[in-house]
Structure 1
Amino acid sequence: MGVQIRQATAADRDVVLRLMDEAFHGDPVSSWILPGAEHRRRVHPLLMGSFLDVVLEHGRVDMAEDGSAAALWMDTPAGEPEPSDGPAQVRAAIDPDNERIELVGTLTSAVHPHHRAHAYLWMIAVAPDRQGEGLGTALMAPVLERCDREDTAAYLEASSGRSRELYLRLGFTDLGKPLQLPDGGPLMYPMWRDPQS
């Protein structure tokens, strides 16, 4: 499909943030982190904004020119990362009484592989009324092609069974067992993609 893709800048923050908030508002993981509808309405944009700001500063945000989709990528080197209190900082800044914000960050950090450098897909957001049109696949294709060309792996945590199916079609495989969030929370699926020839 003919999707025009460009790298987002700080000037695109409001457009991408609105997209992320809409796309993930009903996501199983977002709904578990912020179970109350009114509380989620107020806090969810702040949570998405904290992720977006980190990636705008340290990674890469690709977006469809019409603002209908965006992907947040971080290049991750091999080797154990420096200890970080990032999840605690996000919790303190966004919703100090909400342990689940910190817990998700801690749990995903614990399963994140570091044996090989890789492109880490933090999030991919597609406008709810445009899902199922192939925008996510089109948005990911240039990065995955670069990974293949440069012999680099890719990694992500799928937040739903539906998104997991998309990533399987794109060459990702399950990396170990799904991550079960506590207290009746949803599954998250750590997934790895070796470079493909």
Structure 2
Amino acid sequence: MGVAIRVADEADRELVVRLLDEAFQDDPVSNWVFPDPAQRRAKHPGLMAAFTDVVLAEGRVDLAEDGSACALWLSVPAAGNHDGAGGNQEDGDGADEDGPAQLREAVDPDNERVELIGRLTAAIHPEGQAHAYLWMIGVTPERQGEGLGRALIESVLDRCDREGLAAYLEASNARSRALYERLGFALSGRPLDLPDGPRMWPMWREPRPGGPARA
């Protein structure tokens, strides 16, 4: 489908945060981080705001022109080691290894799962090869199933293919995993089973000379 896409900036921050909050309120991982519905309604927007701020500062937020969907991307260099949710690129001395702890302190100090999700995803993040990291992609609930997320992803995968760049993500549910597989992603290592929680699937995609799969 044809979707007009632009790069978001600071003026779009509140829109992106609201969109991500709405899109992930019922996500299995968000439900694990904030198992109490009232707590999730209160604290989840702050977590999405923290993620948005990181990517606006260090990466790229692609936004559908009508505000219905967004994708948060980070560029990970060949020697990089990304700290996952709430972390930053390390410079080799471990200076940013406390990113998940800082995120917990800022968002919900009494909730150890805010920190734990960052540490667990960092532990499975592949190292060595430069890649584009799809941190999050969100579609407003009333527009889900229309192909908006796929359009956002394909626009970046097209560029990855032209530049010979790999891509990586963690799928948080079986439906999204199936979409990513159709786009050429494959399971990378073992799935991550969150303690007493859902499964996440680390997925890797090598660049394709012919472009993304269109099945």
Q: Do they superpose with TM above 0.5? A: yes
2:134 is the counterpart of 1:134 = no
Instruction: Provide the residue aligned with 1:107 in structure 2.
Output: 120
Query: 1-side partners of 2:99 and 2:67: how far apart?
Result: 28
Q: Quote the sequence identity (%).
A: 64
Letter in 1 for 2:208: Q
What is the aligned-residue RMSD (CA, Å)? 0.8
The one-letter code of the counterpart of 1:96 is: P
- Residues 37-72 of structure 1, C-alpha deviation per residue, up to 9 Å, x if partnerless? 111000000000000000001000000000000000
Query: 2:86 maps to what in 1?
Result: none
In structure 1, the residue matched to 2:71 is: 71
Does the Cα contact within 8 Å between 1:77 and 1:114 map onto a contact in 2?
no
How far apart, in 2, do the equivalents of 1:103 and 1:93 lie? 14
Task: Report the CA distance between 1:141 and its aligned residue.
Answer: 1.3
Aligned residue for 2:44? 44
Matched-pair contact (CA < 8 Å) for 1:77–1:118: yes
Query: 1:114, 1:146 → 2: CA distance?
Result: 21
Aligned to 1:93, the other structure's residue is in SS state helix
Give me the whole-angstrom Cα distance separating, in 2, the residues matched to 1:80 and 1:70.
25
Tell me, in whole angstroms, the C-alpha distance in 2 between the residues paired with 1:97 and 1:7: 35
Q: Are 1:120 and 2:147 matched, yes or no? A: no
TM-score, normalised by the number of residues in structure 1: 0.98
Matches within 5 A, 1:61-100: 61-81=61-81, 82=90, 83=94, 84-100=97-113
**1:33 & 1:166 partners in 2: Cα distance?**
24
- Of 147, 155, 159, 2:168 maps to 155
After superposing on structure 2, the runs of 4+ consecutive aligned residues of structure 1 that deviate more than 4 Å are none
Deviations 1:24-44 (A, max 9, x none): 010000000000011100000
Q: Which residue of 2 aligns with 1:166?
A: 179
Deviation at 1:80, TM superposition (A): 4.6
- Give the Cα separation in 1 of the matches to 2:69 and 2:136: 11
- Look up the equivalent residue of 1:101 and give its one-letter code: V
Q: Which amino acid aligns with 2:174?
A: G
Checking the alignment, whether the CA contact within 8 Å between 2:69 and 2:149 is kept in structure 1 is yes
Give the structure 2 partner of residue 59 of structure 1.
59
Measured in 1, the distance between the counterparts of 2:49 and 2:8 equals 14
Gaps of 5+ in 2: 82-89, 210-215
Number of the residue aligned with 1:144 = 157
Matched residues, number: 196
TM-score by length of 2: 0.90
Shift of residue 174, structure 1, vs aligned partner: 0.4
Instruction: For residue 182 of structure 1, give the secondary structure of its aligned residue in structure 2.
Output: coil
Q: Check the 8 A contact 1:68/1:126 in 2, yes or no.
A: yes
Distance in 2 between residues matched to 1:177 and 1:58, nearest whole Å: 28
CA distance in structure 1 between the partners assigned to 2:136 and 2:175 by the alignment: 14
Q: 5+ unaligned residues in a row in structure 1: which ranges?
A: none
CA distance in structure 2 between the partners assigned to 1:163 and 1:141 by the alignment: 14
The Cα of 1:179 is off from its aligned counterpart by: 0.2
